[in-house]
Amino acid sequence: MSGSVLLVEDDRAIATVITAALEDEGFTLHHCESIAARDRVLAVHRFDAMLTDVVLGDGDGIASLDAVRAVDPDMPVIVLSAQNTLDTAVRASETQAFEYFPKPFDLDELVRAVKQAAGQRAGAEAAPVAEGDGMPLVGRSQAMQGVYRMITRVLRNDLTVLITGESGTGKELVAEAIHQLGARKSGPFVAVNTAAIPSELIESELFGHEKGAFTGAVAQAIGKFEQANGGTLFLDEIGDMPPEAQTRLLRALQSGRIRRVGGRQEIAVDVRIIAATNRDLAPMIAEGRFREDLFYRLNVVPIELPPLRERREDIEVLSQHFLNLAAEDGLPRRQITRDALGKLEQRRWRGNVRELRNVIYRLALLAREDVIDAEALDDIIGPERESSPTEQQLDFGGALQLWLTANHPPPGALYHNALAAFEKPLMEYALARTGGNQLRAAKLLGINRNTLRKRLGELAINADRFVRPV
Ligand SMILES: Nc1ncnc2c1ncn2[C@@H]1O[C@H](COP(=O)(O)OP(=O)(O)OP(=O)(O)O)[C@@H](O)[C@H]1O
């Protein structure tokens, strides 16, 4: 049996014996000798079970269990005690300790109890998250099983999660799953893509601002932290966060309170944070571009999403899943042959699951027959291009196709709505690049200033939003 066990015991002889016995059974042991050390390690690691002595140098192993429950309410705890009094036994059972062992104890019995405790936890946790069953994630590979296991570990607590993985591997979907399946599901899920917001606006976007905080702050605005109160805040592309915003975020995480830009009052927020990045943060920390202390605050529970090329066995179920979604989105219902799937399984998928989704939608839309075979696949998507993943994701036609299937504009409004969907981000980009200066934005776009002003009005874009704080 495998599993990880935290052993809190200041008697080294006993610790050595327990460690040896449990390691022989395949457990990984982490040993510490004090309550302070226990709490430090629990803040960053999660264990399948904990064994604790009662009388420790810096406190009482039972009386201090509340702190353990606060970070991990469901971890089975086995109490070991040399004070074989009824009082200790009663106190242990009052804390719902999994089991109580007076010293000296029978080592075999202890090993059996640990196996049972760790097994019970794994059983209780394995149940809620598996593919299907309200679980939006598809894939049965070993790698995805590991991801599901990690998700189950964070459903019944509010630990901060850092999701890493290449672009398009499903990081946002995992964040949504944690929210939907967890205790906060009735609260809001608010996603912020740090990379998509001009750096000058990030702080105001996250924390809100008071009226007059900077030029253009014409009214008070509530930030994403406050919007997510009682729910989950998903901070995507956290590696792109500018240094000042990192500092402010760290402060908010430490204190559970935020202050609006230009505001004096500290506001308490009850928000679970899930962050994600497709960048390797280690070199950024080394170069001083990402705060190490923030990294540790975020990386309490790391979840790593494997690239699609490392779980090719999932390509078949994912393809079927996306064919179904395409049909639900109003595209023709298609089937795909084993040969065609074989070809899909050989591709590199540098854009990961997002790229697969786009390809399947394109196939569903453009295939001439209901059954997509290898030949049809070659016809429609051709050989793999040598383009970078970014180019593949930014394939304009593909994105438009997805937009068209996801939005069903009323008849007669298709051209108008598609144009607005295209123009709005373009105008916003130009305004963000030029700090809200309409003259410069018009120049950047290569259009007349009056045309810009007219379109801003028609598209309900508030140019003031892009004015840089001074
Ligand atoms: N395991 C999966 N099962 C079903 N759909 C998936 C899975 N993984 C990803 N997807 C789909 O692939 C697309 C990309 O996923 P998502 O946006 O979550 O990726 P991401 O890692 O957050 O990307 P980025 O780093 O670019 O923000 C979405 O349409 C998502 O629904």
Three-class secondary structure assignment of 47-78 = CCEEEEECEECCEECCCCHHHHHHHCCCCCEE
Same domain, 300 and 369: no
Same domain, 281 and 396: no
> 391: Cβ–Cβ under 8 A, 6 or more apart, which residues?
none
Q: Please give the Cα distance from 372 to 464 (Å, whole number).
A: 50
**In ligand 1, which atom is closest to the CA atom of 139?**
1
Same domain, 334 and 400: yes
Last residue of a domain, one of 280, 304, 328: 304
Same domain, 163 and 100: no
Tokens of 365: 């839309």
Is the separation of the CB atoms in 190 and 229 below 8 Å? no
For atom 6 of ligand 1, the residue with the nearest CA is 170
pLDDT tens-digit readout, 19-35: 999 998 889 899 999 99
Tokens of 423: 């123009």
Q: Is residue 135 part of a domain?
A: no
**How high is the pLDDT of residue 81?**
81
Is the separation of the CB atoms in 153 and 46 below 8 Å? yes
Q: Is the C-beta atom of 325 inside 6 A of ligand 1?
A: no
CATH of the domain at 15: 3.40.50.2300
Same domain, 381 and 437: no
**355 CA → ligand 1 middle, Å:** 9
Q: Is the C-beta atom of 195 inside 6 A of ligand 1?
A: no
For atom 16 of ligand 1, the residue with the nearest CA is 170
Q: Is the C-beta atom of 165 inside 6 A of ligand 1?
A: yes
pLDDT tens-digit readout, 79-89: 888 765 666 66
Tokens of 339: 């040969």
Rg (CA), the chain: 27
Same domain, 395 and 420: no
Same domain, 423 and 402: no
Q: Is residue 312 part of a domain?
A: yes
Q: Is the C-beta atom of 306 inside 6 A of ligand 1?
A: no
Q: Which of 170, 75, 160, 54 is nearest to 117 (CA)?
A: 75
pLDDT tens-digit readout, 295-329: 999 999 999 999 999 999 999 999 999 999 999 98
Same domain, 357 and 448: no
**How high is the pLDDT of residue 405?**
65
Same domain, 187 and 281: yes
Q: Is residue 134 part of a domain?
A: no
Assess whether pLDDT exceeds 60 at residue 132: no
How many residues are given for the chain?
470
CATH of the domain at 295: 3.40.50.300
ipTM of this complex prediction, to 2 decimal places = 0.98
Q: Is residue 133 part of a domain?
A: no
pLDDT tens-digit readout, 169-216: 999 999 999 999 888 999 999 999 988 887 778 888 999 988 887 777
pTM value is 0.63
Tokens of 225: 């932290």
Containing domain of residue 44, as a range?
3-126
Same domain, 389 and 420: no
Taking each continuous run of H as one helix and of E as one strand, the counts in the chain are 21, 16
Count structural domains, the chain: 4
Same domain, 375 and 359: yes
> 363: Cβ–Cβ under 8 A, 6 or more apart, which residues?
334, 336, 372, 376, 377, 380, 381
CATH of the domain at 440: 1.10.10.60
Q: Where is 221: in which H helix or E strand?
A: none
Same domain, 426 and 358: no
Q: Can you list the alpha helix ranges (DSSP code H) found in 168-280? A: 171-181, 199-207, 224-227, 243-255
Q: Is the C-beta atom of 351 inside 6 A of ligand 1?
A: no
**How high is the pLDDT of residue 391?**
47
Q: Which of 25, 31, 29 is nearest to 11 (CA)?
A: 31
Assess whether pLDDT exceeds 90 at residue 344: yes
How far out from the chain centre does Cα 210 lie? Answer: 30
Q: Is the C-beta atom of 297 inside 6 A of ligand 1?
A: no
